[in-house]
Amino acid sequence: MENKYTLSGLMVTDFNKLIDGKNTMLCILKNRQGAELSITNYGAKIISLMVPDRNGKLTDVVTGHKSIDDYLTSEEPYFGAICGRYGNRIAKGKFSIDGIIYDKLAINNGPNSLHGGIKGFNAQVWDILQQDEQTVTLEYISADGEEGFPGKLQTIVTYHLTDNNEVVISYHATTDKPTVLNLTNHSYFNLSGAGDPYIGDHILTINADYYLPTDSTAIPYGPKEKVEGTPMDFRTPHEVGERINDDFEQLVFGKGYDHTYILNKEDDELSFCARCLSPKTGIIMDVYTTQPGVQLYTGNWMTGNFEGKKGQRYPERAALCLETQHYPDSPNKPEYPSTLLRPGEIFGSTTIYKFKAEK
């Protein structure tokens, strides 16, 4: 492939590498409005996303790295990635299905298993099944027993950049044994432009009356709680940083927001999830999903220790995530919506990130 650059300044060939016997590469999607989405098949990661601001200037709104080598050594391994087999946390790395105990999951986040283990879907090379100017479809087949999960799982993820500046992510999965899964995209957004140091001025709305409070290890207690009367309430627009340092136990535990919101929606309905706005650029991101929840994470553990794209650094709270998903630790909490997938069943979900600019 010839050396060429993306609109975000990435050199395409810097993403070419042989990993685990498979070739990685950068897939570039463009729409009729000039927006550009760059994805690598290493972890099915979104690397850059160029959308217009209020003046029509294309702005990269996701954090990331300039090369595949940087992703291999990054202290933020989930930048833009598909997380699986189980995104978010499973308490103490164990669960049971039909009376069979599975207790070999990696303990990689305090006492818990996070985002599929040591080498989750974020660190696998996916196969590219199809690509055109605005769509790419990727597949990863997870072996029975991989990272302690039962069943051979086929996962297909499609990214589509529409002419309305929407990033549509569609998920499809099947298994040959009963298993659990929770798939999400872990993009870190800064609508003021990647490299802007703080998302505290972003104005956020989340369509949720309830959230899941957690213990100090980020595992939900169980019952949902009302957001009303707490700093967790984003039913009306608030600046992200307005209450983030309040003396509120949940914010103290997470060093900020790192919580699942229970969306006001019907099961499997594609409906409004959240809206985020940067007052600096006027860029608005509307999120829609079929999933029952969304994890708000405000980059509380980002350090700024390493260089990202264009020499940028990403300090604490330099980005936020809106990870549409099922609830943490659902395999151990039968009262939560089920994350169980059995042979013959098809898991499917859709999430849309839609961008526009306020004049």
Residue 2: per-residue pLDDT: 54
- Say whether 80 sits in a helix, a strand or coil: coil
Q: What is the mean pLDDT of residues 305-314?
A: 93
Establish how many alpha carbons lie within 13 A of residue 207's alpha carbon, considering only the half-sphere containing its beta carbon.
18
Instruction: With cut-offs at 50, 70 and 90, classify the pLDDT of residue 222.
Output: confident
The CATH topology of domain 12-357 is: Beta-galactosidase; Chain A, domain 5 (2.70.98)
Is 188 annotated among the ligand-binding residues?
yes
Is 258 annotated among the ligand-binding residues?
yes
- Judge whether residue 295 has pLDDT over 60: yes
Closest CA to 45 of 27, 33, 29, 30: 27
Residue 227: per-residue pLDDT: 98
For residues 103 and 337, give the distance between their C-alpha atoms in angstroms, rounded to a whole number.
21
Closest CA to 277 of 211, 356, 353: 356
- Judge whether residue 315 has pLDDT over 90: yes
How distant, in Å, are the alpha carbons of 68, 83, 112, 348 from that of 71?
5, 15, 24, 28
- Which residues are marked as active site? 186, 323
Tens of pLDDT along 242-284? 999 999 999 999 999 999 999 999 999 999 999 999 999 999 9
For residues 227 and 210, give the distance between their C-alpha atoms in angstroms, rounded to a whole number.
5
Is 31 annotated among the ligand-binding residues?
no
Is 187 annotated among the ligand-binding residues?
yes
- Judge whether residue 3 has pLDDT over 80: no
Residue keyed to tokens 């608005």: 284
Whether residue 7 contacts residue 38, with contact meaning beta carbons closer than 8 Å, is answered with: no
DSSP assignment string, 246-301: SS-HHHHHHTS-EEEEE-SS-TT--EEEEEEE-TTT-EEEEEEESSSEEEEE--TT
Residue 1: per-residue pLDDT: 42
**Lookup: tokens for 188:** 């870190």
For residues 319 and 299, give the distance between their C-alpha atoms in angstroms, rounded to a whole number.
6
**Lookup: tokens for 333:** 């909490």
For residues 259 and 252, give the distance between their C-alpha atoms in angstroms, rounded to a whole number.
12
Is 41 annotated among the ligand-binding residues?
no
